[in-house]
């Protein structure tokens, strides 16, 4: 993904707004239980359509967490869709859950519709 300066430059050139959402590991029970509350996660995104432009994670097991965001970017998954994903509790993956839910996407942005419900 892109860094915030890269995303802002792209937004300026292509005419779209860029927003940032952040969350702290201090809000995560698993990180606190492991005495590792000193991390942050940051997402750069387009509020007009929910496109994730970049995600940065610093903290406990960041390398284990970034794959979810990387896959979302690679697959073109929008925030309004991925924030519906279930994250087990208590796990560090809830840091991303909170990050996706912290993003403010404009109400006119659409979500992908699923034609058939699948039991999991």
CATH number at residue 21: 3.30.390.30
Residue at 109 is within a domain:
no
- Catalytic residue check, 89: yes
Residue at 61 is within a domain:
yes
- pLDDT recorded at residue 112: 58
* Sign of the CA dihedral running 27, 30, 31, 32: positive
d(CA 37, CA 40): 9
Out of 56, 61, 87, 89, the active site residue is: 89
Write down the mean pLDDT value for the chain: 90
Residue at 90 is within a domain:
yes
Containing structural domain, residue 78:
4-102
Both tokens of 101, joined, read 């839910």
Q: Going residue by residue through the chain (120 aa), what tens digit of pLDDT does each one get? A: 999 999 999 999 999 999 999 999 998 999 999 998 999 999 999 999 999 999 999 998 999 999 999 999 999 999 999 999 999 999 999 999 999 999 999 987 666 544 444 344
């Amino acid at each position: 993904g892109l860094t915030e300066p890269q995303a802002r430059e792209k937004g300026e050139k292509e005419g779209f707004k860029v927003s940032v959402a952040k969350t702290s590991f201090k809000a995560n029970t698993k990180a606190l239980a492991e005495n590792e509350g000193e991390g942050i996660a940051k997402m750069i995104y387009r509020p007009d359509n929910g496109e994730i432009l970049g995600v940065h994670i610093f903290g406990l097991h960041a390398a284990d967490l970034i794959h979810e965001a990387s896959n979302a970017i690679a697959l073109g998954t929008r925030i309004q869709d991925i924030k519906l994903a279930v994250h087990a509790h208590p796990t560090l993956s809830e840091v991303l859950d909170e990050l996706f839910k912290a993003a403010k996407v404009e109400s006119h942005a659409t979500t992908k519709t699923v034609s058939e419900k699948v039991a999991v």
